[in-house]
Structure 1
Amino acid sequence: MMRLRRFFASMVGRLFVILLLGMSVAAIGATMLASTKRQQEFERQNLTRIADRLQGFVNMLDGNPELRDRLLAVGGPAVRSLPAGARLGREDTALMEVLEDRAGPVAHATVHFTSFRSCIPKAQELWPPPPPQRRKPPHERDPAFIPPKCRAVQLPLSDGTMLALSLESPAIAHNGILAVDPLFLTLLVLAIAVLAYVVARMASAPLQRLASAAAELGDDLQREPLPVTGPLEVRRAAEAFNAMQKRLQRTLGERTQMLAAITHDLQTPVTRLRLRLENVGDEALRERLIGDLAAMQALIREGLELARSAESAEPRAALDLDSLLESIVEDAVEAGAEAQFAQGSGAVLMLRPLAMHRLFSNLVDNALSYGGTAQVRVEQGTDGVRVRVRDRGPGLAEDELETVFDPFVRLETSRSRATGGAGLGLTIARALAEKDGATLHLRNHPQGGLEAVVHWPAPPRPPGSRAG
């Protein structure tokens, strides 16, 4: 049910419903209109056949006065003398219009519907009615059956003799209205549904490609531009997207160059300041000034590193996460820190090696600096791969777990300023993670301490595939 809701909430689903309903209504309406026209033509041809029989019999009576009485006694095909006292019903204007276009006496005929008893020969009136158990249901209920009708025709012959005839039209079976045939409707709707789904997928494919490209652009600004193909509107959208990507690349490049230039130009005056501070006689003041100068240098370096982390064009390669994390932990242990690689997973992902080394080095250094220890573990499941870096520190308040990712944020309540830093470590770490398709968030571990979780979601499986 959830998958069905997501389908109808998508552009493909909405286009599919609109096309299915619109095309179905149009197709069924056109089919019913064609069936109505066909039914009218069928009835017109039936009236033409009835008029032909009547005209043939009347012409034979009009041309043979001496045989007229005998012919009337015998009757013709579905035509005979009208019994005396027959009650006349409404006029059959449709048949009268057909007869008006004919030559001969029938052009002046008056036609009324009458009781079907008027069309039954006298000999048949003596026959007993069929037993009740043999009677069939009335055919009038069958839409594919035109019941028999009886008409009273009154017309003058060429010599002025008035004729009163009964004209029988037999029951006729014909094809029903095709539009209400359940099988036909089912096949029609199925065909329209397939066509509507294909058209909806084709119409939404450019939008899906644009959405995917926009999502990839957030991870990799140096991605390949969109191909400019397809209809005019799609080409214009692709060209606008590519132009936006170039402007973003140029803007980010200019920012990085500006920060690099500022960093480079500040190196000389900062170095001179440091040399001059060495000549300060007050040792306590000298140490404080040198500390402030070192903090300024660290701030400049980390600001430049933040800009470079978003612009890096390092290629991806197959990376063994366990080996990378083990090497980072070993380096920390060799430096005298309390670090542990608790669990591996054997996961190999397409990542940027240098960026990932910087990401996890930041997280491990953060755990060691503020929590005293670092425990690293890798987990791989059906929902993807997770790397957890946990410390044994005091943790953070719930409303601070996201705030610490903002640039230049340092929380005095849980982080000691004596540890140094400019408040950009977690900002850089999140930027590096998101550029490689991962998410980074913090949580307070149930057993104490703060835990940083880097998660790569599993790629979607194609429809019909089974999990291994």
Structure 2
Amino acid sequence: MRARWPGSLRSRLFLILLAGLLCGQALGFAIMLLERDQSARAVMLTTLQRDVAVAVALLDRLPGAERPRWLPLLDRPTYRYALGPGEPGTPTLPPRARMIADEIRAALEPRFPVRFDAVPDSPERLQGHVVLADGADLTIAVRPALRAVASWLPAALAVQLLVLAACVWLAVRLAVRPLTRFAEAADRLEPGRPAARFAEGGPDEVARAGKAFNALQARIARHLDERVRILAAISHDLQTPITRMRLRVETGAEGPDQDRLLADLAVIEALVREGIAYARSLHGEVEPPVRLDLRAFVESLVFDYQDGGRDVTITALPDVTLATRPQALRRILTNLIDNALRYAGRAEIAVEASEGRIALSVRDRGPGIPEDKLEAVRLPFVRLEESRSRDTGGTGLGLAIADQLAAALGGRLALRNRDGGGLAATVTLG
């Protein structure tokens, strides 16, 4: 089964850099151990050569009766001396034993001929047999020791590896963090919505990317602003000829044709008014925010509908005060309530406040919206002909205006179909 790479760039860079540094660390540690082993071996063999030469010469000059008392004084951790022929062994020597045998032979011969054999054991042992001047047998038993490793070395190595991993993680985090912030800024970038400028500090590459992103953001804003101004200008300029046409039709001959022309002009006027309102909604920030008693504001709006004989009720309304732009908020709720009344004949308003956020919901029991169209209906001039006929009125700009104004207030409009039928349009502020 093939190993899968982590999904994030940060994890991939961390693994690659950490693996490379660990390999380099392991190689350096191996080189250090090899050099240390060679140096220690050279020192050990030189000491062994001198020590064996002195010890054998001393034992050779001592009387036979005195030698047993001196043997313990001449013993070393890795080799010792014994009188007698020693243990049975084999003449074939391993490479390491041959190197030690050559050093001992160089120290004793030609004065003391030496014969070597290996004792089958684990770990390996080497015996050197010497005949002293009086004919006594002397055995040099060598037990090569493993490399001595300091007890603190594993702990030091573990700390070193932890520091290395921490430095790699910090370096990767510092390198990837600007890219993460750049991606977050790109996610927040939506045409027609206010967006903060990307910080242009940091390394040169990040600063250049930030400047390019801010320039792109400004170009998009200018392009949209130009389109909105064109829409507003056209909609405004159309009002004068439409008014003239209405006056001419009204002063003309009465009859069915006049009624049809007046109805068409009314549709055109509504479309022009909605176009102007949509253009203004993209600049909702021009209205200054004020402190608003939300309970009194919503009750006043609902009472206006009820006074006009419309079925609008309140199901939940806590006492909340917030800073917002009242005209923009009124237009949002008016559009949502009008939609609910147009397609369901009844609207319910519910306000919820929790953790500093306020949610205003307008609910109905109308035909709802297909799930795959919930996002599309917030675009301008998008209508759902299969469920909402043009005969019921509307220009396809109501939800688009509400969405733009909600964004201008720093909130968001969400649409969802209710269980049992109907639509819930919720504006979340804060």
Same fold by TM-score, threshold 0.5 exceeded? yes
2:118 alignment partner, one of 114, 117, 120 = 114
Corresponding residue of 1:201: 173
Question: What corresponds to 1:94 in structure 2?
Answer: 99
For the residues of structure 2 that align with 1:37 and 1:348, how far apart are their CA atoms?
A: 77
Contact 1:306 1:428 in 2 (8 A): yes
Which aligned pairs between 1:268-287 and structure 2 lie closer than 5 A?
268-287=240-259
Residue 377 (str. 1) matches residue 350 (str. 2) = yes
Q: 1:230 deviation in Å?
A: 1.1
Q: Check 1:212–1:220 CA distance in 2 against 1; reply closer, same or farther (3 A cut).
A: farther
CA change 1:85–1:253 in 2 (3 A) is closer
Q: CA deviation at 1:210?
A: 1.5
Instruction: Look up the equivalent residue of 1:212 and give its one-letter code.
Output: E
Unpaired stretches in structure 1, ≥5 consecutive residues: 1-7, 117-137, 141-146, 459-468
| One-letter amino acid of the structure 2 residue matched with residue 256 of structure 1 | V
Note if contact 1:50-1:169 (Cα within 8 Å) is conserved in structure 2.
no
What is the identity, as a one-letter code, of the residue corresponding to 1:151? Q
Partner of 1:83: 85
Q: Using the TM superposition, give the Cα deviation of residue 85 of structure 1 relative to its aligned residue in structure 2, in angstroms.
A: 9.4
What corresponds to 1:357 in structure 2? Answer: 330
Matched AA of 1:415: R
CA distance in 2, matches of 1:415, 1:85: 108
CA distance in 1, matches of 2:93, 2:145: 22
Structure 2 residue aligned with 1:305: 277
Per-residue deviation, residues 92-116 of structure 1 (Å, max 9, x unmatched): 343367679x789589987745339
Contact 1:378 1:385 in 2 (8 A): yes
Comparing 286-295 with 38-47, greater Cα deviation is found at: 38-47
1:256/1:113 CA distance change after superposition, 3 Å: farther
Match of 1:252 in 2: 224
* 1:216 alignment partner in structure 2: 188
Counterparts of residues 171-182 of structure 1 (less than 5 Å): 175-176=148-149, 181=154
Asked whether 1:49 is paired with 2:47, we answer yes
1:206: how far off? 0.9
C-alpha deviation, 1:318, in angstroms:
6.5
What is the match of residue 314 of structure 2?
A: 341
Q: Is 1:291 matched up with 2:294?
A: no
Q: Which residue of 2 aligns with 1:127?
A: none
Q: CA deviation at 1:179?
A: 11
CA distance in 2, matches of 1:395, 1:260: 31
**Code of the aligned partner of 2:99:** A
Q: 1:79 to 1:405 in 2, by over 3 A?
A: same
2:416 equivalent in structure 1: 442
- Quick one: structure 1 residues 221 and 441, their matched pair in 2 at CA, closer, same or farther if it must change by over 3 Å? closer
| Distance of aligned partners of 1:265 and 1:48 in 2 relative to their CA distance in 1, 3 Å threshold | same
SS at match of 1:246: helix
The unaligned stretches of length 5 or more in structure 2 are 1-5, 75-79
- Kept after mapping to 1: 8 A contact 2:359/2:428: yes
Corresponding pairs, count: 412
Q: Tell me what 2:77 maps to.
A: none
CA shift, 1:305, in A, is 3.0
1-structure distance, mates of 2:293, 2:8:
37
Query: Does structure 1 retain, via aligned residues, the 8 Å contact 2:49–2:107?
Result: no
Q: Distance in 2 between matches of 1:215 and 1:353?
A: 29
Residues 437 and 31 from structure 1, CA distance in 2 versus in 1: closer, same or farther, beyond 3 angstroms?
farther
Match of 2:402 among 426, 429, 441: 429
Query: 2: distance between equivalents of 1:228 and 1:385?
Result: 34
Cα distance between partner residues in 2 of 1:455 and 1:275: 44
Report percent identity of matched pairs. 34
Pair 1:69–1:231, CA change in 2 (3 A)? same
Partner residue in 2 for 1:4? none
Partner residue of 1:126? Answer: none
Write the letter of the residue equivalent to 2:176.
S
Distance 1:26 1:387 in 2: 61
SS in 1 for 2:282: helix
C-alpha separation between the residues in 1 aligned to 2:19 and 2:289?
Answer: 47
What are the Cα deviations for residues 146-201 of structure 1, in whole angstroms up to 9, with x where unaligned?
Answer: x684332779x9xxxx99964334675864487995x5666455444443443343
Q: Is the 8 A contact 1:72 1:80 kept in 2?
A: no
Deviations 1:206-251 (A, max 9, x none): 1222233223332875434222111122112111111101111110
Give secondary structure in 2 for the equivalent of 1:225: coil
2:3 is matched with none
What amino acid is the match of 2:93?
Answer: R
> Per the alignment, in what secondary structure is the counterpart of residue 218 of structure 1?
coil
The two structures have a TM-score, normalised by structure 1, of 0.70
Q: CA deviation at 1:309?
A: 2.8
User: Are 1:417 and 2:421 an aligned pair?
Assistant: no
Write the letter of the residue equivalent to 1:451: A
TM-score, length basis structure 2: 0.76
Whether the 8 Å CA contact 1:255–1:307 is kept in 2: the answer is: no
Q: Name the CA shift for 1:344/1:34 in 2 (closer, same or farther; >3 Å).
A: farther
CA distance in 2, matches of 1:320, 1:12: 47
Residue pair 1:95, 1:111 contacting (<8 A) in 2 also? no
Please state how far the C-alpha of 1:326 moved relative to its aligned partner.
3.0
CA RMSD in angstroms comes to 4.4
For 1:437 and 1:80, locate their aligned partners in 2 and report how far apart those are by CA, in whole Å. 95
Return 321-330 or 269-278, whichever deviates more.
321-330
